[in-house]
Amino acid sequence: MRGYKNLMKKKPDNFMLIGTTGVGKSTLFNALLNRDEEVIKTQAMVYHDEQTIDTPGEYLDNPRLYTALISTMTTIDTILYVHQSNVVEHKMPPGLFTIYNNRVIGVISKIDLPDARVEEVRELLKEYGIIENIFEVSALDGRTIAKLRKYLIERNHIN
């Protein structure tokens, strides 16, 4: 249990969360960074330590706003693409993740929903080119968040 407590003290950095409106990006952002803040609707980019970014869902929902995502990707090593577990529609514009050489991690959120279709969403993420590094998370299960946090910390070699 001691290792879990030490992991909870560390914070990953240099990533941005991308996903459509309502998929749980801000909740995940706060959980990954151990922020005990109320989750409110993200209206603009939210920066933590300059290189950790939560993005509004509208930036992916509205093609006119893709440029904000694309320009922000230039400063980030890792993109966390968050897709809700009960939505199997294509929401991603083709080629968005191949513009720069970012590491892309797929996150299937809200896996505790009664109508979750996790395996179908996993296949959808594979169609987007996210083959490995797909995490299933629930804000109600801290172990799922800790697993993703651990991966991010280890990948960024944070001590």
Give the number of other CB atoms < 10 A from CB of residue 4: 11
pLDDT at residue number 151: 93
From the list 37, 64, 62, 60, the residue with the least C-alpha distance to 48 is: 37
153 within 8 A of 8, measured Cβ to Cβ:
no
Residue 48 has pLDDT above 70, yes or no: yes
Residue for token pair 């987007």: 128
Average pLDDT, the chain: 87
The DSSP-derived string for the chain is -HHHHHHHH----SEEEE--TTSSHHHHHHHHTT---------S-EEETTTEEE--THHHH-GGGHHHHHHHHTT-SEEEEEEETT--S--SPTTGGGSS--EEEEEEE-TTSTT--HHHHHHHHHHTT--S-EEE-BTTBHHHHHHHHHHHHHHTT--
pLDDT at residue number 136: 98
All domains in the chain, ordered by first residue: 2-155 (3.40.50.300)
Q: Tell me: the pLDDT tens digits for 84-139?
A: 999 998 878 888 888 888 999 999 999 999 999 999 999 999 998 898 899 999 99
pLDDT at residue number 10: 59
Rounded to whole angstroms, the Cα distance separating 90 from 93 reads 8
40 within 8 A of 28, measured Cβ to Cβ:
no
pTM for this one? 0.88
Give me the phi and psi of 125, to 5 degrees please.
Answer: -60, -35
pLDDT at residue number 11: 59
